[in-house]
Structures are given as C-alpha cells and as structure tokens.
Structure 1
Amino acid sequence: MVEEIQNELTEVSTLQVGDIVKGKVSKVEDKQALVDVGYKFDGVIPISEVSSLHIERVGDVLQEGDEVELKVIRLNDEKDELVLSKRAVDNEKAWKTLAEKVQNNESFDVVIADVVKGGLVVDLGVRAFIPASHVEQFFVEDFSDYKGRTLKVKIIELDQEKNKVILSHRAVLEEEAEQQKEKIFEKLSPGEVLEGTVQRLTDFGAFVDVGGVDGLVHISELSWKRVATPSEVVKEGDVVKVKVLKVDKENERISLSIKATLPGPWEEAGTKFKIGDVVKGTVKRLVSFGAFVEIAPGVEGLVHISQIANRHIGTPGEVLKEGQEVEAKIIDMNLAEKRISLSIKEVEQEKAAKVVEKHKEEYTSSGMGVTLGDVLGDKLRNLK
C-alpha cells in the first residue's frame, strides 16, 4: 500500500507544462470547468481554452462527467494552480487530420457553427471558414438558416503557420456534378428519346438539361416550321421531349432535337390532304419548270409550268411572284417521296365552268333574244 502511494506521488511530481493528460469534468461553470486528472488538486479549463471558436458559456461545449484529453499550460503547486487546455489538444490533432484529408483529396461532413460576414464558420479543432462564394453553386443572399446545418466540404486551403483553413461546399457539388456528367455521357446514345428541362435560351437555340447535363437544341431542330427565335417555341422551365442526335464525349457536347420527336409535316400531310383537294398556299420559289408552293408548314408542292395558267407562258414569273397567295388543286401525291403535284390552271378552269353554268341558267330563264356568247364573251376572255 505504501509502495502504491509512493508510485502515485512520483507520477504526480512528474507532471509538467506541456504534458498531455486525460481527465473527467467534475464541475462546469459559465467561464470555466474543473477537471479531475488524478493530480493532488483539480485542474481548471478557462473558457478561452475550451474551443477554437468564441463561445458564451463553457456549458455549450462541456458537461459534467465528460472525459477529455487536455494539455497542461500552467502549473504552480504552491498556489494549487493547474491550468489545462482542451483547445490545444484539439488543435494539434486537427492539423494532422486535416493534412491527411488534403493529401487524400477527401470530402467530409461539417456542422456550421456560426454565420459571419462573408461566410460560414466551422469548428474542426481549429477555426475553419467557408467563404460565401464557396457555399453553393448559386448566389445566396441570406445565410441565416445555415447555422446548425451539415454540409459536405473539401479543404481548398490549409496553412498551419497562418492558422488558416478554408473549406468549400461548392467544390464538392461541382465534383459530384462532374461525376454525374461522366455517367450521363457514358449512358447517352444517338437515337435515344428522353425528357429534359429547358434551362436557357440563346439566339441560336435552347439548352436543355437531360439529367444533370445540358444539351443544345439548335434553332433548326426546335420545330418543323421556320422559327425566328427559340422563344416562339419554348421558354425556360418547360419540360420537353428530345431526341439525342449526337454525343461528343471528348468536347462534352450533346446535340438534341425537339423536332425529331414530333410528327413530321409530311406525316401530317397524309391525313390532312388528298388528291382533288383545293388548297391555299404561298409561292416560295420560282424555277424554270414551275413554282413551289407551301400548302402547310414544311410541305411544298410543285405547280409545273404547264399547270400555272390556261394560256402558254414562257416563265412562271410571267404569272406568279414569290410570296403570292394562290389557290391550287392537288392532282397527285407521293408521300413516300415527299412529292405533291399542284395545278392552279385546273382551279381557274373550274371557276370558269361555274361562271358559264351560272350565266347559262340566267340566259335560259330570261328568254331574251341574245346569244350565250353575247352574255359570256367578255367574262370568259377575262378568265383566260
């Protein structure tokens, strides 16, 4: 028994400033905590030595009965003074741990301890800071609801000499987005049809998010009809069906088409038109052998030069001009070859026949002594 007491006294007498000891919190006050470390009197942890961050009360961090590892920072046996630091031990461990995380390029979870001007504060055993620009991938105006939240971060700057630790949540989000992008590029293949959300519009098309990656729908692939600006067809936030046209993994580009997911104009033409129909259209272009007339968006028919007028003409431009609205009769259709033959002449002939029939009835009913040629001569000449 005497030998054991002598051993304990020997251990106590060897306690020196700088030693690391373990103890149990025996009492917690607002500005300090008392700790039993097996010495002849309890040690004291001042509030300034509890945490690397500013705290209002020791009780915010320590509770009675907590077992803690501490560093001796002051010892005076004559005054029964033993001052300990939890912060110093935490600090030394933290720098070692943080250096390993940097070396391993590791992401880890942290709890936001405080919100300050310019960003967020984290206690890692040392004070760490997340600048406002590194909290999210988007601008955040108010950080007040971030206190107490858990964020996954990476260390982007570590300098023990300057006691500087800078963290980034945005870097983690960007890394995750890049990994997601790689997965999508591996999975996407030309010909695939999927849903996406319109993210933004430009003069040359619309960018559509297809699961974390933006693909471009060129303005020519927005619709079967001619489009002057993308906003005529889509707006930001629209959910659209798109077809993958091309995947360029090397340059991280995806070409998409909305048009390719819609029924083509020639498909619709098969249900909308039939031979014998009289349709209205616009002269789009004149060629030596006739005129091409658009009778529906994306559907043009040919009026051969012989079907333009009832009289012989040398060029289509003698009768027609581009942009002119005309009536024509469908005289032939070949949807497989996307060909429709039209006749303006037949429409005019049918109109003339109706005029003749109408005036023939008027002549018969009038009983007047004039010939049918007298009545219709000028009218028929005007229709030629």
Structure 2
Amino acid sequence: MSEEQIEDQAVSEENISLEKSQDEATKDDHSPPPDSASAGTPRIEEDFEDMESLLAAVDISSIRPLKRGETLTGTVMAVEREGILVDIGHKSEGFVPTSEMLLLGADPLSKLEISQEVTVSVVQAETAAGQVGLSMDKARGEQGWKILQDWHDNGEVFEAEITSFNKGGLLANVEGINAFIPMSQVVGAKPGSDGVAPLGSQVGKSLKLKVIEINRKRNRVILSERAANQEWRAEQKEKLLDELHPGDIRTGIITSIRPFGIFVDLGGADGLAHLSEISWDRNANPEEMFSIGQEIKVYILRIDQDTKKIALSVRRAAPEQWDDLITRYQIGDVVPSVITRLVNFGAFARLPGPVEGLIHVSSMVDRRISSPKEILDEGDVIPVKIEKIERDRHRLGLSLRDARDEALALGWQFDSLGRIIGFPDSVREELSEEATIAEQRFEQRKAENAAVEERASVDREARESRAASARIEREAATDRAPQQTAMEQAFAQASSVDQDAEEIEPDADIVESTSDIQEDLDNPVEEPSGETDQSDSDENT
C-alpha cells in the first residue's frame, strides 16, 4: 500500500468519525436535559481536529510493506538458540538466524546483547511464523564487496575468523561476504588428505589472510593464508635469525608433521626437529605424539645463516626427562638392549626406559671389522655394558665386547663370529615385543651357522680322504720296485748325475768335451827344448 493510499484511508476514516459525532449530537438534541450532575461536564473534544494532526499521529512506517534488500537499524529484543529477535519498528518483529550473522565469527550469539543496536537487511517480508526475515551478513554485503575489492587491488593483509571447514578447505566470513580458503593455501595442511584433524582445529581461530581472487558476479572470493604470511614471514625471519642462539629454548607452533620430523613456527621462521631429536625414544612416531597447531617448547640446536635453516630438538627442551630415565643405570651395568640404527662408525642401542646409547665399532668384538653389519642387524637384542654416562651431553657409551664374559654367565649365546644367537628368559620381561622378533632372526642365524659347519665338515673329510689315498699309493709304489745290488745302485746314481750335468749347457771357451780330453791322455805331447811359450803353457795348464 502506497503512502497516498494510506493518506486516503486516513481521510475516509476521519470523515466517518465526524459523521458519527454529528449523529450523536442530533440524538442529544432530542434527549431529555441533563441533570445537574452532568450539566457541568464539558463535551468530549475530538482527538484529531484536522488532517495534519491525523497524519502526524499515524506511524506510516509500521504499516507500509517492507522491501527485500532494504537495510534497517534495529534493537536486539532477545537472544535465542537459533538466532535473535530484533525490533525494527514494524508491526512485526524481525528474526536473524545464526546462519545470517557469520560476520560475527564462529559463535555469533556470544557477541550479542539485549538492547544492542544492529544493522540488518530484509530477506523476507513475512515468514511462516509471521516475522520479518532479516540478515546481518547481507546488510554488510554490498559494502563488504567494495572493501574486499580494495584489499585485493592493494594486496593488503587482514585477519578473519574461521567459521567452518570442509574437505576442500576453510570457510570464513569477511565483511559479511562468505569466502573460501583452499587446503593448499592453509599453512600446515596436507593436500590430498581429508583435512579433518588439521582443518577442524582451525575453526574459531583468527588467521592472517589475503584476497587472491574475487568475482562479484559469481559470488566468489578466494583467500590465502600462505600468501598473507609470505611477506610478513620474510621480514620476521631475518629478524628472528639474528635473535636466536644455539642453546635457547623457545615456544613454537607445529605447522607440519612428516615421517622424518616436525616443522615448528618460531614466530616468523620454521625450524625442523628431526625424528632423532623428537623423543628420547627413537621409535617414537611423530604423528602419534603431535598435532598441527600444537604449541610446544623446542631447543635451538644449530642456526645456518647461509641456508637460513634452523635445527631444533624437542627432547633437549626437557632434559629432566633424560635424567629421570638414566637414574636406574650405573657405569659397569650389563643390560639388554635393542639395536635401533646402524651407522658406519657404530650402532645405536635402546635400553629399557627408554634411553639410547652408542656402541662404537671398535667396541663390538675383539677382532677388527670394517662394518657393524658384520656383527649386528637392526632389531637385534644384545647385551651391552655401560661404559660412560655423559649427563651434560645426554649421551651413553656402550660396549658389546666388554659385556661378553658376564653375558655368557647370564645365559646369552654367541656364535663363532661374535653374533648373538640366544638370550636368557629374563630379557622377555623387559623387551617382550623386541625379543619375539629377534628370536626368529636368531633361529635363522643358527640354521645358517649349522649349514656352514656342515659344509666345512664335508670339506675337511674330503681333504683327509684325498691325503690318505695319496699316502697309500706312495707306499704301494715302493713295494712294487725291484731289488738292486749295490753296484746297480751306484751306476744308477752315476747315471742320474750325468743326466743332471747334461741339462747344464757347457761353455766352449772354458770346458772341453770329454772326447778331447780322452784323446790328449792317449797321445801326450813332448815338450821342446829351450824356452817354453808362455801361452802354450797356459793353454796346456
């Protein structure tokens, strides 16, 4: 109904009231005169004397129809479970559901109070309940689009509260506009995962965001936490690297969990706590121990100014834990342990507790070995002797070689190479799971040793058999040889000597043949009288 129609209706109602008053006046003229008590009572005056006063008294806004998208200002009348009742000065109160006040955050009702003034937009003139459907988000919407467009054009970073999430990412309401943050743009989320754990924990938190895409026609706004943090973190990282020093203990937020360790945000720069520095137990699983967004204390191990990398330790941030674990051990104790890792210089062994120590390669066996793999395998259960306890550096020095004598007395079994092939029953009480797995390996090791011994025995018997056969053949050859006289033996020996001499090539200038010598003996040469030629003498000589 238009204002002109309302005014016409108001005029007709005034005319009707005037006609009724005239009729009543006519009746009063034919009625008996009033008594003395009523004679002094003045006649009732009309409340509205002219059209102007009538229009002024009528609240046109309360009866005119509301238009969809109209922006109003109202007062909160009541805060209910599903939303709020708002007095908008109309014949019916308005209702704003919680889904239409996301601009207030994940818990909007907690931020509203009775008599609080709010700006709303008309969504529905009249609902089934006879109320006016209102929205606080849409009242802010048109202005919000303009603000978001300015932020996008200027590359501004802002904060917004996360209102919800789904498998694809996070949802936020910024200036009355619903926006989406993909998982790939959320710091610490894993692309390809369902995101329930890391994303759900973000609801209700305020994040630094940046508009990376906006499309008013498609009602589409894409935000990014990574882009927002990039510039800020670049500045903070340089500043933080100058402030940090090895040995410092800082509080950080876990941003990522990987099989090899965890990344921790120290307030502008991420550091890595390697798997070996997460817990005193090297078998600890980081995904079971930590969660994205968790606040923890870390120990600064190293800072590389060239690569801008920070090495962290979670376990060293709580050194009292190591001290508590090591109180049960003393230097010289022989205890069972499990090999957790093999390296070129030795092996790491975990003691019950759990606490870990190092067995140097020189402390494994008496002989020299080139690699720990010659003696040990990962998962082996072995006895070790505690040789050193370095409390200030949280280190244990262990020895397999020095533990052998006492271990044999306790029931441990070693093979010829120095490898463990058995342990006493008491070990199962402290390392039950590891002992079960190691027993299977030890049985296989025993079978291998038995096979090697069997092959060695067969080879030994074959060698002994060949030696016996050769000895018998020599003895048989000696028995078959004919008997020789002493003369025959002498001629045989001489013949052997002549044969040996023939093998040597004679020098023609020094030694003469046997026939020439025999000829000279048969025909001696007479010496001439007088002086003898020196050369001939020398030659005869």
TM over 0.5: no
The higher-RCO structure (CA 8 Å, 6+ apart) is 1
Structure 2 length as normaliser, TM-score?
0.31
More strand by share: 1
